[in-house]
Amino acid sequence: MTAGRFAPSPTGELHVGNLRTAIVAWLFARSTGRQFLLRVEDLDRVRAGAEEAQLAELTAVGLTWDGEVTRQSDRQAHYDDAVTRLRRADHLFECFCTRRDIAEAASAPHVLPGHYPGTCRNLSEAEREAARRVRPAALRLRTDVGQYEIRDVLHGGYTGAVDDFVVVRNDGVPAYNLAVVVDDAQQGIDQVVRGDDLLSSAPRQAYLGSLLGLPPVEYAHVPLALNPERRRLAKRDGAVTLEALAAEGWEAAAVRSLILRSLGLPDTSLDAALGAFDPFRLPREPWIVDPSHLSSTDAATVPPNR
């Protein structure tokens, strides 16, 4: 089985940018004969009722998925197995740094901005033992490369820096970069379509996958939806969720039509959009969403589903 996926975090309602990415991921998967899976990434912050709301929102815009919804919180055994394999291969080391420690050390001239400076990489056993009495350790990947190249359908070859990144937090929770790599491989997901804000993390994840002996995935990082100030779209921008837009007179089908038009696709239905879908004709610039222009009058001009 090969598959694509959409993997939201249950922290709140999905906004139109999230729904747009979900629709694009669905189009990529269906147009290439892949299954389309839905995974809830709930290892971190979770808001009560958010998962149910998000599933309802995806259904409302017409998306369907294959099989049962999976949740990262049910998959700890898979992460533990990956950590064990990395440990045995000496690919992990304990890190006792606080965020402040890292921020101060990372100001050194030889350290790339935002990257780990290697403080705990070569501690002696005596130093690690002393540090364990002060705070619990996170586990970082002991990388042997400074950068790694991935192939992206929309961006072509992309080379990004790879540092000794965290794979298990100091509270024992698997970090995003570990969980997503393990999940995708275990679920047969070989096509990862997501927002281009995550492009820079792809080389880290691909490198980790190579250390675990996992098959490579096909990436497609798509432009985000931004507000008029060209910042990431958020609920604070106004009526940008299905619920808020419904209060302005928008039906879910009309919101879907708006999203499809923003992609340059037929806006009458998902099936019509799928028939015309060509990834190389997708817009390469962000979608600027101005909630002040999304009125009930606008909604009335959007063709209904048919």
pLDDT digits (tens, 9 = 90+) for 192-206: 999 999 999 999 999
121 and 160 part of one domain:
yes
171 and 84 part of one domain:
yes
- The string of pLDDT tens digits covering residues 99-117 is 888 877 755 555 566 678 8
Average pLDDT over every residue of 235-244: 87
Confidence of residue 295 (pLDDT cuts 50, 70, 90): low
CATH no. for residue 43? 3.40.50.620
- The answer to whether 5 is a known ligand-binding residue is yes
Residues of the chain by 3-state class (helix, strand, coil), percent to 5: 40, 20, 40
CATH no. for residue 181? 3.90.800.10
116 and 92 part of one domain:
yes
- The answer to whether 158 is a known ligand-binding residue is no
101 and 170 part of one domain:
yes
- The answer to whether 100 is a known ligand-binding residue is no
48 and 87 part of one domain:
no
- The answer to whether 235 is a known ligand-binding residue is yes
93 and 170 part of one domain:
yes
Residue 280 sits in which domain range?
A: 3-72+223-300
Per the model's pLDDT, the better-predicted residue between 45 and 58 turns out to be 58
Is 46 inside any structural domain?
Answer: yes
107 and 174 part of one domain:
yes
pLDDT for the residue 220: 98
237 and 265 part of one domain:
yes
Least confident of 32-46, 139-153, 232-246: 232-246
- The answer to whether 73 is a known ligand-binding residue is no
Is 305 inside any structural domain?
Answer: no
- The answer to whether 85 is a known ligand-binding residue is no
- The answer to whether 148 is a known ligand-binding residue is no
Whether 279 has a pLDDT exceeding 80, the answer reads yes
pLDDT for the residue 107: 59
Instruction: Spell out the residues 6+ positions from residue 62 whose beta carbon is closer than 8 angstroms to its own.
Output: 252, 253, 256, 269, 270, 305
Is 130 inside any structural domain?
Answer: yes
pLDDT for the residue 106: 58
- Contact between residue 248 and residue 299 where contact means Cβ atoms under 8 Å apart: yes
Count structural domains, the chain.
2
83 and 178 part of one domain:
yes
pLDDT for the residue 297: 43
- The answer to whether 303 is a known ligand-binding residue is no
- The answer to whether 9 is a known ligand-binding residue is yes
Is 292 inside any structural domain?
Answer: yes
Please count the other Cβ atoms lying within 10 Å of the Cβ belonging to residue 1: 11
Q: What is the pTM of this model?
A: 0.91
Whether 191 has a pLDDT exceeding 50, the answer reads yes
- The answer to whether 41 is a known ligand-binding residue is yes
Is 218 inside any structural domain?
Answer: no
- The string of pLDDT tens digits covering residues 128-184 is 999 999 999 999 999 999 999 999 999 999 999 999 999 999 999 999 999 999 999
With the C-alpha atoms ordered 256, 258, 262, 267, is the resulting torsion angle positive or negative? positive
Picking from 187, 205, 236, the residue at the C-terminal end of a domain is 187
Is 183 inside any structural domain?
Answer: yes
Whether 305 has a pLDDT exceeding 70, the answer reads no
Q: Report the alpha-carbon distance of residue 220 to residue 226 in Å, rounded.
A: 19
- The answer to whether 53 is a known ligand-binding residue is no
Whether 121 has a pLDDT exceeding 50, the answer reads yes
82 and 60 part of one domain:
no
pLDDT for the residue 224: 95
90 and 173 part of one domain:
yes
